[in-house]
Structure 1
Amino acid sequence: MDQLLAALADPERLKLYARIVLDDLPPRDEDSDAARKHLGRLLATGLVERLPDGSLRADPAVFRRTRPQEPQSGVPRRLAGFFAGGRLTTIPVRPAVRRELLAHLTGTLFESERSYSEPEVNEAFRTVHDDTSALRRYCVENGLLVRERDGSRYRRVAA
């Protein structure tokens, strides 16, 4: 689905696609370099097909064949809406949901028997979200990560 949306994201390509859908594309309009480039992308994604007579047709079946992306594997169903493309898109506002998300993250990103430096914690959190300091702080506040008194090391609290 992402490829289809990306193909239609360009305004000129979208106009070309609309003209093909409406069967309003004179043959000479597909001869320019830009039109050929855009048409190539539409053909490659399956949005448009070339018929045996050389004419173009929009293929609506491509949208039925494309399934929405499956939720991130291993992410609980209730939390899947907070992820896109394997990354956390937003940190939940509701404390109970946020705690559930943080418990999931700490459980998957950190080993319980190991101690981590702050840069290591940041690097682990950065794999899912850019606001590493917020995630780190929320995990400490929720008792999921314990920070040494001097702030130098973190470790995951055993479940």
Structure 2
Amino acid sequence: MDQLLAALADPERQKLYARIVLDQLPPREQDSALMRKHLGRLVAAGLVERTADGSLRADPAVFRRARPVAEEAHPGVPRRLVGFFAQGRLTAIPVRPAVRRELLTHLTGTLFETERSYSEREVNEAFRTVHDDTSALRRYCVENGLLVRERDGSVYRVAAA
């Protein structure tokens, strides 16, 4: 999946891919060096294939085939949250409150033990294994009632269910 996204990260390749999908790319436009370079990336990623007659074809099934691979790369991560992870790290904190809460519930369930108290430093170290903005994750968990913090900020615990 990362290879597909990388291939479509360039705006010129996006336009080219769209023209191929819509079958609006005349063969004479495929000959420039820049066009061959962009086509090469799309072909290498499996987004486009050249048919026997030399025409280009986009296969939308490549996205369906890539999805299970992405889910297998993040075992234990709920399906709806897989898109927020890359190479075992959280790439973004969801903006939508319901999705963010689901992510935070997943993180607290996997990073912390329910019967143990944690210092702020230990909470930060646990969150740092998945994302660099530890203060935001810590704050969101407290605000959502997933972590309970002592008034003086010295101790954190997983909230009782």
Output the TM-score relative to the length of structure 1. Answer: 0.62
Counterpart amino acid of residue 9 in structure 1: A
Matched, 1:48 2:48: yes
Residue 42 of structure 1 and its aligned partner are, at CA, apart by: 1.3
| Equivalent position SS for 1:9 | coil
Matched, 1:151 2:153: yes
* Correspondence for 1:60: 59
**Separation in 2, partners of 1:101, 1:7:** 28
Deviates more, 1:85-94 or 1:101-110: 85-94
* Correspondence for 2:108: 106
Cα pair 1:7 1:42 within 8 Å, conserved:
yes
Identity %: 60
* Correspondence for 1:30: 31
Cα deviation code 1:87-117 (max 9, x no counterpart): 36326536xx94x654443221112354433
Distance 1:64 1:123, change over 3 A: closer
Cα pair 1:46 1:62 within 8 Å, conserved:
no
**Separation in 2, partners of 1:48, 1:101:** 34
Output the TM-score relative to the length of structure 2. Answer: 0.62
Question: How many aligned residue pairs are there?
Answer: 150
Distance 1:105 1:121, change over 3 A: same
- Measured on the aligned residues, the alpha-carbon RMSD in Å equals 3.8
Cα deviation code 1:1-32 (max 9, x no counterpart): 553343233232234332583240317x4242
**Separation in 1, partners of 2:59, 2:9:** 17
Distance 1:83 1:31, change over 3 A: closer
Distance 1:30 1:16, change over 3 A: farther
Unpaired segments ≥5 residues, structure 1: none
